[in-house]
Structure 1
């Protein structure tokens, strides 16, 4: 499950990107399903752990999906398709679980589409 975190409206709307821990490339917060949580709740939890998003709400339904290769600890890559949920950000914490492992930044949808690697994720940003 992945979180497309955003703030602002209209021409002032921005999207939150974070760096991946392994390669430092720009991504959106994402993770594996969590038993006992709905998909959108999992996306919101990832937004907290990876980007410090708190006191925010994830849409009930996904706005899209994208595929990527997840590198496992043994070096093998596994193809993964993840659902993307819109998350309206109300508050950001400076102190969050992965704060010392990631960089985050707010960018326009066009800039986000240029920075992320995954073609389907680029399309999601371009549709915003």
Structure 2
């Protein structure tokens, strides 16, 4: 019920103030290898495009912790050390199944992955794969996220 009210309030707010952006948090999951850093990307549920795990901030959690929770649910990151400060921000438009879009600004938190689970909440809905930061930058669509990945 709270989520329903919140989403309608946010929608009305954006109608009155169209420049306002919703906020999300994302986890830039990585591991260190002999060949250098590898970045974990997942596919989106709707279009299957490559993205980083992301979602809405959560009551009672710092944004970095919420990003790590999203990494668990969407990518199966079972254990990771997450940085408390974001490594960057990017903007995109979240398109809704019933039409319309929500402009979103996403805070990105680096999370060094220690372990992945074989089974996780959205494992049957998404693919996950490790890429070099440069390869990952070529896979994602959002220009600002591409820059974050290239600089990582």
TM-score of Structure 1 vs Structure 2, range by shorter chain: over 0.9
| 1:48 alignment counterpart | 72
Match of 2:144 among 111, 120, 128: 120
Distance 2:150 2:88 in 1: 12
One of 109, 114, 125 as aligned partner of 1:85? 109
Deviations 1:37-96 (A, max 9, x none): 110000000000000001212100000000111122422111100100000000000100
* Structure 1 stretches of at least 4 aligned residues deviating more than 2 Å after TM superposition: 9-12
Change (3 A) 1:63 1:10: farther
Provide the residue aligned with 2:13 in structure 1: none
TM-score computed with the length of structure 2 as normaliser:
0.81
Would you say 1:98 and 2:122 are equivalent positions? yes
* TM-score (norm. length: structure 1): 0.96
**Larger relative contact order (CA 8 Å, sep ≥ 6):** 1
Deviation for aligned residue 1:9: 4.9
| Higher CA-based Rg | 2
**Structure 1 stretch displaced more, 73-82 or 108-117:** 73-82
**Alignment match, 1:69:** 93
Q: After the TM superposition, which of the residue ranges 69-78 and 34-43 deviates more from structure 2?
A: 69-78
Cα gap change, 1:61/1:13 in structure 2, threshold over 3 Å: closer, same or farther?
Answer: same
Q: How many residues are treated as equivalent by the alignment? A: 128
Query: Is 1:59 paired with 2:79?
Result: no
Match of 2:30 in 1: 6
Structure 2: give runs of 5+ residues left out of the alignment. Answer: 1-24
CA distance in 2 between counterparts of 1:106 and 1:57 reads 17
CA distance in 2, matches of 1:94, 1:106: 15
